[in-house]
Amino acid sequence: MLRDTWRGGLALALLLAGSFAAAYSRTDMQEFQLASPTHPWTATRVHRTTGNVQSIHGYRGSRTNSKSVAAILGAHHRRTASTGYENITTTTAYGTQYATVARWGNHSMMMLLDTGSADTWLVWRDFLCTDYYGSEIPQVACGFGPAFPGDFQYGYVTPQQHMYIQYGDGEVVTGPMGYADITVGNITVKRQEVCLANRTYWQGNNMTSGLMGLAWPALTNAYFGPSEPPEDEDHSVGNRVEYSPLFTSMVSQGLVPPVFSIAIDRNSSSGILAWGGIPPASGLDTSRIATMDMIITSLIPVPATASEYSFYTIIPDGWQYDQATDTKKYPYIMDSGTTLCYLPPSLAKAINQAFQPEAVYLWMYSAYFTSCNAIVPPIAVILNGFRFWLNPSDLIYRDMVDPITNLCMTAIASGGDGPYILGDVFMQNALVVFNVGAAQMQFIPREFY
């Protein structure tokens, strides 16, 4: 691989060369509903960004990260034009969360970064922290960083609306909706619709104070009516209100081209989020750039998702592990809000059996475990004919040890009936470009280091 930063002319030409139409077999895809891609914006050139950079900070937590709407879809299987750069930060001990700083009015707040959900919110002063059963507990138990001390800059949404969202690990957030100016990477989105959460069941890292959702409008979770106790709120599909999430508003206001990208740096608890283009990441192999169409996939009971983009979904060519190759076609969600890679059960089992010694499934974690010093097989996801190898050091979580067996958790998990997810384990090994304007994703492999 090349140890190289982004080289504008060559890399740009490679990145823009052609479009890959994802092929799939109806027999392989019978449990999913797919629609032909429709481009919401005119396709845009991907420019090299030269703007603002913010660091990504690392925090420690207690479990793998599933703070994502994408994760909740299969939670029953695994519950446990200006441009700018923005640093993102790793969090948690053996699961990785990524966070970045956003300014709400005059307040700078650290927020989780999630490409698998669309709502942006902060925890509000005087919020109610609850346990799993809805009983009030001390605020400190929810593990937030500083609560937002202000109010909605431009008042509440009219007619009154509230957000209600449940994430993949069971956490629940609700609160009123209003308008505020949100600044990220020196780009200010005016009058963005956001939530100030006044009631949460949350298990945070004591540093971040909310979440920034970067997915499509079809995944927003606003509902008519004031924010009341959950039992009094109507969260039916008919009461849902679709609105413009942060990145959609950023593009609609003409602040950036319809592209953002994420590069996560290994061994430094850091990375870069680039608004409107590509970050100057190191270790890129620009001779192997995979371009994949985003696919409209109906995975949730929201009618809009059958005809609108919702998740950042692609269909890989298959997987290679050890000496075997599996070329069955399934849609995978690209999700920074989920730590592990969730695969079809038979494939996840086969890959985990290729560890030496074989990984075994522990039902209490809904995950596979092997010796903490196991030999990891070569594992790659195949995208547009290119093999994107996963770094062996990312595939065993040595901080996640079962106290009875003394085995460590692997990074390849079963996704049950789906959906399947390429989480942070994959994203640590590639620069990922969300080319929304072209309804495509680009992937550039990064050198192991």
Domain assignments of the chain as residue spans, ordered by start:
281-445
In the set 114, 285, 317, 394, the catalytic residue is 114
Tokens 């050890």 locate to: 322
pLDDT at 167: 84
pLDDT (tens digit per residue) in 374-419: 999 999 999 999 999 999 988 998 888 999 999 999 999 999 987 7
230 or 341, greater pLDDT: 341
Q: Are 446 and 430 in contact (CB under 8 A)?
A: yes
- Alpha carbon 430 to chain centroid, angstroms: 14
> Rounded to whole angstroms, how far apart are CA atoms 70 and 312?
10
Q: Where are the alpha helices (DSSP H) in 40-129?
A: 69-72, 75-78
- Whose CA is closest to 334, among 70, 94, 30? 70
pLDDT (tens digit per residue) in 72-94: 443 333 333 334 555 554 433 33
| Residue ranges of E strands in 153-289 | 161-166, 172-184, 187-201, 210-213, 222-224, 240-241, 259-265, 270-275
Is 317 assigned a catalytic role? no
Q: Which residues are registered as beta bridge partners of 413?
A: 342
In the set 169, 265, 335, 394, the catalytic residue is 335
Report in angstroms the alpha-carbon separations of 178 from 109, 167, 197, 217, 243. Answer: 17, 21, 11, 16, 12
Architecture of domain 281-445: Beta Barrel (2.40)
pLDDT (tens digit per residue) in 136-153: 999 999 999 999 999 999
pLDDT (tens digit per residue) in 177-233: 999 999 998 899 999 999 999 999 999 989 999 999 998 998 899 999 988 777 778
Secondary structure (3-state) at 193: strand
Mean pLDDT of 410-439: 91
- Whose CA is closest to 331, among 27, 77, 21, 34? 34
Res. 42 pLDDT band, cuts 50 70 90: very low
DSSP string, 356-370: BSPPEEETTTTEEEE
pLDDT at 399: 83
Res. 302 pLDDT band, cuts 50 70 90: low
Is 285 assigned a catalytic role? no
Res. 97 pLDDT band, cuts 50 70 90: confident
**pTM for this one?**
0.82
pLDDT at 9: 27
User: Which tokens is 212 given?
Assistant: 């920034």
Classify burial at 24, counting beta carbons within 10 Å of its beta carbon; exposed 0-12, middle 13-18, buried 19 or more.
middle
Report the residue count for the chain: 449
